[in-house]
Structure 1
Amino acid sequence: MADETASDDLPPTANRFAEDNPAVWDAYTDLGRACSEAGPLDDETKRLVKLALAVGSQSEGAVHSHVRRGLDEGLSAEELQHVATLAIPTVGFPKAMAARSWVSDLTDE
């Protein structure tokens, strides 16, 4: 398997994919690392941008992932919810409210 420690924290579907396709998973994680290191943004800004992209693409799983990571990295629930609020004029009120509920899934625990 690819990096066993990294996949321990993955959702079941992604974990299974990583186990079944270690070369693809390694290439995917290498791409993510290279993209992260390709520019001047600090880690907090990158996390908020990635959360915003997840909100914009309406990916509940990705929103959960970036909220979980953001909380682990010290971002506040208010900062994470603000990302979803900022989405209102761009993606629309209903989609932004869905994103706020996905953020709340992890911040209201």
Structure 2
Amino acid sequence: MKDKSIVNNDIIERNLKYINENHSEIYQAYREYGKLVHTQGGPLDDKTRWLIKIAISTVCEYPYALTTHLKKALKAGCTREEIEHVMLLVAPSAGFPKMMNGILALRQEVGEED
């Protein structure tokens, strides 16, 4: 049986491709807005911005966004320990199950869990 998260990622990728092909100006404007907010929105450094995005994606239970943010955070120099700490901080405010889902996504991303 195929992993449900992989199926969902495939669906999301196809839908994103559809939006890009059929509404490219809107999608490009959205992407540019995201880049501007990330890079010029304020004084936070790159690692801090990615850690915040990981926390938000974990709390909102957006697995596709969380996986994307995990990859980008690790590439930006965030350590596994920093990311796990951010996820632990989610539990008291947003709930233990959300934190657990985030930890699982992190463990899968770094190859600790299939």
Change (3 A) 1:74 1:22: same
Change (3 A) 1:98 1:41: same
Q: CA RMSD in A?
A: 1.7
**Is 2:53 the counterpart of 1:50?**
yes
Where in structure 1 do 4 or more consecutive aligned residues deviate above 6 Å? none
Q: Percent identity?
A: 29
**Is 2:80 the counterpart of 1:73?**
no
Shift of 1:51: 0.8
Q: Deviations over 1:54-77 (max 9, x none)?
A: 111111111101001111112221
Identify which of 97, 101, 107 aligns with 2:100: 97
Distance 2:41 2:74 in 1: 24
Distance 2:28 2:72 in 1: 20
Distance 2:94 2:110 in 1: 22
Mapping of 1:1-109 within 5 angstroms? 11-36=13-38, 37-108=40-111
Distance 1:20 1:108 in 2: 35
Distance 2:78 2:13 in 1: 21
Shift of 1:30: 1.6
Contiguous gaps of at least 5 residues in structure 2:
1-11
**TM-score normalised by L of structure 2:** 0.78
The total of aligned residue pairs comes to 100
What SS is found at the alignment partner of 1:83?
A: helix
